[in-house]
Amino acid sequence: MRLSMNNELISTANFRELIQGMRNAFSRGENVMEYARKFTGADINMEIATLIAYDLQAGSYIKGTLANPDDKDIWCAQLAELLTPLVDSKTSLMEVGCGEATTIAGVLGHLKSKPICTLGFDISWSRCHMGNGWLSQKGQSATLFVADIFNIPLEDNSVDVVYTSHSIEPNGGREQEAITELWRVARKAVVLVEPVFELASEEAKQRMIKHGYVRNLKLAAERLPSPITEYRLLDYSSNRLNPSGVIVLDKQGLSESGEIKWRCPITFNKLSNEQDVFVAQESGFVYPVLRGIPLLRTDHAVVASRLMD
Ligand SMILES: C[S@@+](CC[C@H](N)C(=O)[O-])C[C@H]1O[C@@H](n2cnc3c(N)ncnc32)[C@H](O)[C@@H]1O
């Protein structure tokens, strides 16, 4: 297993200490990301910390949705309104950092035309697992898998419309990398629904800095070769200290027509979906499927050259 904190390797001993410390902080009711930032001495959120923190919180979004169904419905209706002009019955749609699928399920419920195929991925397996339960409870369907925003296991121009709902948020400092990767896999459009630092109040800005949230996403989006067709604060934000905005990148005309094709996140070779396992024939890497959820981060690769013999 290759445990990485962004691009730096973490020793097994440090990892043991970090996960135990974060679990203890979680059971004391403390902010686990803050614990991890102190542990690593970094002022940004390391990917491994984001994974552990969000995995520990799995189930909390479903609880929140059940406690405040109207707020969630307003949120999902707002997203569906943004996506409606881009989605018809031939469109593939993907939510990046889908958490417990509470947003995907609501968005699907509000879209006038249902996409031909819906995908969602998250860094945390437990959140995808809870998400599968939530989707079936809501009578909606989407293929959920575990993957990393910075290395999506899909070919270029694979999914028509790629959107986020506050999922780049904790990855402050890696804005350009994140948007560029989303743009790579999208065929028609990228819809970023994220906190907008530059349009936030001073109090909100200080909070975003403290939590290591993304800043100046628009600047990063402007560096891509697609026009920004929408940029504004949204009418509804669930937290005034984390104001939500939208940036739409229009990729139409730039990309070839595509279909969903998996690729190995390490070698970028073709990855074939063999149902219980994903196989990269050229390299001999295989990626397991845990309780129906494909595990497609680089850390999950198993060298098993003889699997298909
Ligand atoms: C604030 S939550 C939003 C969840 C969901 N989009 C929603 O609207 O309910 C952020 C989500 O992004 C995921 N996430 C953060 N960084 C990620 C990364 N590098 N790769 C994949 N998922 C990530 C987290 O695990 C978490 O589920």
> Where are the extended beta strands (E) located within the chain?
4-5, 8-9, 92-96, 117-122, 143-146, 159-165, 186-195, 228-233, 244-250, 272-273, 277-280, 285-290, 293-294, 302-303
Q: Which of 167, 177, 299 to mutate for ligand 1's pocket (most ligand atoms within 8 Å of CB)? A: 167
Residues with CB under 6 A from ligand 1: 47, 50, 54, 61, 97-99, 102-103, 122-124, 127, 148-150, 165-167, 169-171
Q: What is the mean pLDDT of each run of 10 residues along the chain (309 residues)?
A: 56 92 97 92 88 97 98 98 95 97 98 96 98 98 98 95 97 96 96 96 95 95 96 95 97 71 96 94 96 97 90
- How confident is the model at residue 8, as a pLDDT? 60
Structure tokens at 288: 């397991």
Distance CA 145, CA 121 (A): 5
Burial status of residue 69 (CB atoms within 10 A of its CB: 0-12, 13-18, 19 or more): exposed
Distance 308 CA to ligand 1 centre (A): 34
Distance 166 CA to ligand 1 centre (A): 7
- How confident is the model at residue 257, as a pLDDT? 60
Distance CA 169, CA 306 (A): 40
Distance 169 CA to ligand 1 centre (A): 8
Distance CA 39, CA 46 (A): 11
Residue nearest to atom 26 of ligand 1 (CA): 99
CATH number for the domain whose boundaries are 68-250: 3.40.50.150
Distance CA 286, CA 284 (A): 6
- How confident is the model at residue 33, as a pLDDT? 94
- How confident is the model at residue 255, as a pLDDT? 63
Q: Are 271 and 260 in contact (CB under 8 A)?
A: no
Model pTM? 0.95
CB atoms within 10 A of CB 90: 10
Domain 262-309 annotated CATH 2.20.25 = yes
